[in-house]
Chains A and B, each alone.
Chain A
């Protein structure tokens, strides 16, 4: 593959190089007496090496198969797109300051219709020009921290995000917006909930389920909702701002420790589990949906605790699970294992000795449930009582993902196992709800 010819390799690449044609140039392809003319387009990385792709005058792309007699000529030089940004709207000094930190995931982008490229818009001026409404809400400061797919984000990145966020908060912004891919957004949200304590202003994580290049994208609506919340919301917590339903109506703010991605593709993929969302915004108005929340108070002093210990694992129990998996973690000096057990919090009897062995070796073993909804209770069945007696810590209604993040964070604060156990059962960022309420499991909304 080649950098100047994205996606092209082998035969096709040779022919293009010979013709000295670059992406965006106008080329003529002559094959079996037929002539095709169009703009040379990048090829998908996974395409074969026998086709070249051109954009016809009608706007359509077609792939042409290269044969031994195929000729390619360059007949015109492509015009390089020069983006003429529209005039930036005037910054209104009376508006609150909001920082947008990008970590990856595209919340705004522009399309190059000529070659089909989609380019992210990340700088403040880019954002203003693509989502002009932002200039009416806040004075935006944008920082590009990473450009990572969210599945590539690890605990090390959480620490970086937490520190960067803290720096902006200490500079006195009215709120921070963090753009993040959706896949592991829930984990990062939980991590920030533990790392950023005593928040004076809100930290709003935002993402989109439909790419920003399409007119139907949820990106702009979510971003506008997030920036509004960062600028004006009455709460000061780490939340995830996304669509409440599949309609472009309300933006809902989920608590970072209670939120989970529950659908592979829907706009309303994020759901608060075992808890109500913190708030929602509809028709420009905020509605607080919980009784108890941390109010915005710029005089409060942020407490930053950005250390995470990655020697913690999440193990999902499933039938026939090989207990040696748990042994392996012990042998690799892991400090904690969160089990994602069945039902009220169980694993098969054939795993008991491995669990006991782990605890005996000073590994903290905690229990969550793979049911997603509900609370673990290990007193109901014998198997549960046995595990409990061995020293497994039941983690109430905590999400397995949040439990993993919390345990990493806990071992970032202490290396004492007893202190770690105590912290795991202490409600730090609303990760444990004392009461299990009827609502919550996904219902059809009228």
Chain B
């Protein structure tokens, strides 16, 4: 589908979040790292929405509280202290993180503030043990250039990363708080990006600047993009947590597609003359129909003493199965809402039935019982009365919103670029001062000093990479976009391996390995440097690099020497190669006899298959040529 985005009036704003590579967390001295093992500490909390002076409470937050949601936090001793547990006030703001943020801000031509004030931004989903996220503006204004266009930066701020959600069972949400407190820089652009591609390029340009500092974390989950997407007839939708750059444009394309499809549904409903009033909050107990159902989900609910509750959506037939984006139908949106407000596992609707063990007969009975005509749709859920009612109330609300078009909401990004409902868009940011952290003065002298020593800007670096290292444009650009941009130059200036090879390994090979599930974050820079010095010195072949990297990722802190030995990838001596070749010539004596020196190409392939990673091709070539001549001569 080709869409003219400027015609639609698409507007996108970006918020790029990147973890900084500091030695400590933002407000305490814990190691800014995640842990994998079983937690050493767990504790249970509830978060109570605090009332503002105006008596307002965030409705979604208050609802969750009333539902008795509890949060189980998991921690270990290495990465968590009392500060993350909200059992001790924050320590001073981490000045290493402030400095990195200032460097980024200055590279974006922003204005550092004179005095930093740490704020508490109310967040009540449990991702922060305090119930708020600590955040502060470091600089205002600035810009980033995208294809010659100036994209204004609204602010550069520094905040604590949130806890990681592990799962949600019943009314208990589990979070791991190792990530809580890792310094996170946020860069927000103005909403002036008018196409998905442009937004992606802006994200890329900001990402390059972040990496140019050499002080940001790398690996999956260390950078997250939030997208504010709106089209004039649709709504402003916030998409949270796009983890890969490649997904930025796709997520925007899909969101536009979703909004356009919702508008089509709205128009169709208008044609069908459906009004908000005609969608009634009438929930009927239809348990009796399903008493002998073959559908296991419903069967289980009924045997647990729960009921089946149904609601009629007038003239909605066929619309619930309308696809909004791949895998997401209007019915999915309703199911997401029902899950959020009613904590139900899912909903059933007549557009997708009979299925899941529910028979045609049961559907017919259901329609009869709720007095549904053929143009109507029926939605039902099986849960306890309270959850089922909340779920259907959310379905009705979502159905009514369909009449208006696109609801404003916050959506979470899925790994394939589609999105799912997360929560209603929060009202105006509820921020108030973090009085436990004193304001920090940024003096001009310090800023001047930082400005005089800024890292090289990506554009200039690109030119230099092409000139100094003779990289082609594609490779130079890949290096800039890679997390190893700084490492490349360190290796290239010392190693005997050609810069082109190094660049290809650090970009293409790394990317391929990551795709194969190799945990590259486990490999330290020093190991990579050692690897290239090995290859450069002829101690191992460059063909062996992927295997060695994979091995290193599984053996933290091991040496490259250990890797080559363990993998049997130490280089063969000339004599050893000669022996392999002689054996091979004898095995293939017939072939050599028939084709003479013309057998070289085929033999070369055979030898290389045997010695790959343990010999360099030039040497094999030389020895084979000599031995083949001798062999032909003798025979």
Residue ranges of A at the interface with B (Cβ–Cβ < 8 Å): 34, 36, 41, 44, 46-48, 51, 53, 55-56, 58-65, 81-86, 109-114, 116-119, 129-130, 210, 212-217, 220-221, 245-249, 264-267
| Residue contact A113 to B124, C-beta cutoff 8 Å | no
Most-contacted residue by chain B among A61, A64, A217 (CB, 10 A) = A61
Q: Which B96-147 residues sit within 8 Å CB-CB of chain A?
A: 111, 113-117, 119-122, 124, 129-132, 135-137, 140
Nearest A residue (CB) for B121: A59
Question: Is B87 in contact with chain A by the CB < 8 A criterion?
Answer: yes
Residues of A within 8 A of B49 (CB): 215
Closest 10 CB pairs of A and B: A215-B131, A63-B115, A59-B429, A112-B53, A65-B114, A59-B431, A61-B117, A247-B44, A215-B47, A81-B53
Residues in B lying within 8 Å of A, measured CB to CB: 43-55, 61, 70, 82, 85-89, 111, 113-117, 119-122, 124, 129-132, 135-137, 140, 154-155, 157, 428-433, 435, 438-439, 441
Q: How far is the CB of B189 from chain A (nearest CB, A)?
A: 13
Instruction: Tell me the number of A-to-B contacts counted with CB atoms below 8 Å.
Output: 152
A228 to chain B: closest CB distance in Å?
Answer: 16
Q: Are A119 and B53 in contact (CB under 8 A)?
A: yes
Contact A111 B117 (CB under 8 A): no
Provide a sorted-by-A list of 12 A–B residue pairs whose CB atoms are within 8 angstroms: A62-B117, A83-B53, A84-B55, A110-B50, A113-B52, A114-B53, A129-B51, A214-B131, A215-B132, A220-B48, A249-B44, A265-B89
Q: Chain A contacts of B121 at CB under 8 A?
A: 59
Contact of A118 among B89, B428, B432 (CB under 8 A): B432
Check if B52 sits within 8 Å of A58, measured CB to CB.
no
One of A51, A210, A220, A245 near B114 (C-beta < 8 A): A51
CB nearest neighbor in B for A82: B54
- A113 contacts across to B, CB distance below 8 A: 52-53, 430-432
Q: Are A58 and B87 in contact (CB under 8 A)?
A: no
Apart from the given pairs A214-B132, A215-B131, A265-B82, 12 other A-B contacts in the complex at a CB distance below 8 Å: A46-B438, A48-B441, A60-B117, A60-B135, A60-B137, A63-B441, A65-B115, A113-B431, A130-B51, A216-B47, A247-B43, A248-B45
- By CB atoms of chain A within 10 A, which of B82, B121, B135 has the most? B82
Is the beta-carbon distance between A129 and B55 smaller than 8 angstroms?
yes
Q: Which residues of B contact A112 (CB under 8 A)?
A: 52-53, 432
Name which residue of chain B comes closest to A265, CB basis: B88
Contact between B438 and A44 (Cβ–Cβ < 8 Å)?
A: yes
Give min CB distance, A199 to chain B, whole Å. Answer: 31
Residues of B with C-beta under 8 A to A36: 140
User: Which B-chain residue is minimally distant from A43 (CB atoms)?
Assistant: B439
Q: Establish whether residues B52 and A248, one from each chain, have CB atoms under 8 Å apart when the complex forms.
A: no
With A51-B114, A267-B87 known as contacts, the answer to whether A217 contacts B53 (CB < 8 A) is no
Nearest CB in chain B: distance from A177 CB, A: 18
Most buried by A among B54, B135, B140: B54
Q: Complex formed: what's the CA distance from A86 to B137 in Å?
A: 34
User: Is the pair A86, B132 in contact by a Cβ cutoff of 8 Å?
Assistant: no
Specify which of B48, B114, B428 is in contact with A215 (CB 8 Å cutoff).
B48
For the complex, what is the distance from the CA of A265 to the CA of B117, rounded to whole Å?
23
Contacts of B53 in A (CB 8 A): 81, 83, 110-114, 117, 119
Contact of B54 among A47, A62, A84 (CB under 8 A): A84
Residues of B contacting A246 with CB < 8 Å? 43, 85, 87
| Inter-chain contacts of B46 with A (CB < 8 A) | 221, 248
Give the distance to chain A from B605, nearest Cβ to Cβ, in Å: 64
Expressed in whole angstroms, the Cα–Cα distance for A46 and B121 within the complex equals 23
- How far apart sit A109 and B12, CA to CA, in the bound complex (Å)? 39
How far, in Å, is A445 (CB) from chain B's closest CB? 11
Residues of B within 8 A of A117 (CB): 53
A contact face: mostly helix, strand, loop, or mixed: loop
CA distance A214 to B46 in the complex (A): 12
- Inside 8 A of B44's CB, which chain A residues have their CB? 247-249
Known: A81-B53, A113-B52, A265-B88. A47 touches B439 (CB 8 A): yes
Cβ–Cβ < 8 Å partners of A109 in chain B: 50
Contacts of A118 in B (CB 8 A): 432
Check A111–B52 contact: CB distance below 8 A. Answer: yes
Please, how many angstroms separate the alpha-carbon atoms of A248 and B45 in the complex? 5
| Residue in A47, A210, A214, A220 whose CB lies within 8 Å of B120 | A214
Nearest CB on A from B53, distance (A): 4
Closest to A210 in B: B86
Known contacts: A58-B155, A215-B50. The answer to whether A63 contacts B114 by CB under 8 A is yes
Contact B157 A60 (CB under 8 A): yes
Given A59-B428, A111-B52, A248-B44, A216 and B131 contact (CB-CB distance below 8 Å):
yes
Of B61, B87, B428, B435, the most chain A CB neighbours within 10 A belong to: B87
CA distance A78 to B119 in the complex (A): 21
Q: Which residue of B lies closest to A114 (CB)?
A: B53
B70 — which chain A residues lie within 8 A by C-beta? 248
Compute how far the CA of A111 lies from the CA of B124 in the bound complex, rounded to whole angstroms: 15
**In the complex, chain B residues whose CB is within 8 Å of the CB of A111:** 50-53, 430, 432
Tell me which residues across on chain B come within 8 A of A55, comparing CB atoms.
431
A247: chain B residues at CB < 8 Å are 43-45
Q: Which residues of A contact B85 (CB under 8 A)?
A: 246
State the Cβ distance, B174 to closest chain A Cβ, in Å: 14
Q: How far is the CB of A446 from chain B (nearest CB, A)?
A: 11
Provide the bound-state CA to CA distance between A53 and B435, in Å.
14
Assembled-state Cα–Cα distance A220/B44 (Å): 16
Please state if B131 and A62 are interface contacts (CB–CB under 8 Å): no
A62 & B432 in contact (Cβ 8 Å cutoff): no
Q: Taking each of B86, B121, B137, which has the highest tally of chain A beta carbons within 10 Å of its own beta carbon?
A: B86
Distance A65 CA – B438 CA, assembled complex (angstroms): 16
Q: Write out the residue numbers on chain B whose beta carbons fall within 8 Å of the beta carbon of A213.
A: 50, 432
Q: Is the Cβ of B51 less than 8 Å from the Cβ of A63?
A: no
Cα–Cα, bound, A62→B44 (Å): 35
- How distant is the Cα of A220 from the Cα of B428 in the complex, in angstroms? 25
When chains A and B are docked, how far (Å) is the Cα of A249 from the Cα of B432?
28
Flag if A116 contacts B48 (CB, 8 Å).
no
Once the chains bind, are B115 and A216 in contact (CB under 8 Å)? no
Pick from A48, A212, A245: contact of B43, CB below 8 A. A245
**A51 contacts which chain B residues (CB < 8 A)?**
114-115, 439, 441
Q: Is the CB of A61 within 8 A of B433?
A: yes
Shortest CB–CB separation between residue A285 and chain B, in angstroms?
17
Contact A62 B438 (CB under 8 A): no
Residues of B within 8 A of A267 (CB): 87
Most A CB within 10 A of own CB, among B49, B53, B55, B441:
B53
Instruction: Assess whether A64 is in contact with B131, with CB atoms less than 8 Å apart.
Output: no
Report how far A51 CA is from B70 CA in the complex, Å: 42
A215 & B117 in contact (Cβ 8 Å cutoff): no
Within the complex, the shortest CB–CB distance from A244 to chain B, in Å, comes to 12
A251: min CB distance to chain B, Å: 13
Q: For A84, what are the chain B residues with a Cβ–Cβ distance below 8 Å?
A: 54-55
Smallest CB-CB separation from B115: which chain A residue?
A63
Q: Find chain A residues with CB under 8 A from B129 CB.
A: 216
Question: With the chains together, A144 CA to B493 CA distance in Å?
Answer: 73
Complex-state Cα separation, A215 to B46, whole angstroms: 8
Please judge, given known A-B contacts A59-B429, A246-B85, A265-B82, whether A86 and B55 are in contact too, CB under 8 Å.
yes
Listed residue (B119, B130, B136, B433) with the most chain A CB atoms within 10 angstroms of its CB? B433
**Structural contact, B51 and A215, CB atoms closer than 8 A:** no
Q: For the complex, give the distance between the alpha carbons of A315 and B70 in Å.
A: 46
Bound-complex Cα distance A53 to B87 (A): 29
* Shortest Cβ distance from A263 into B: residue: B87
Q: Which residues of B contact A217 (CB under 8 A)?
A: 48, 50, 131
Give chain B nearest CB distance to A291 CB in angstroms.
30
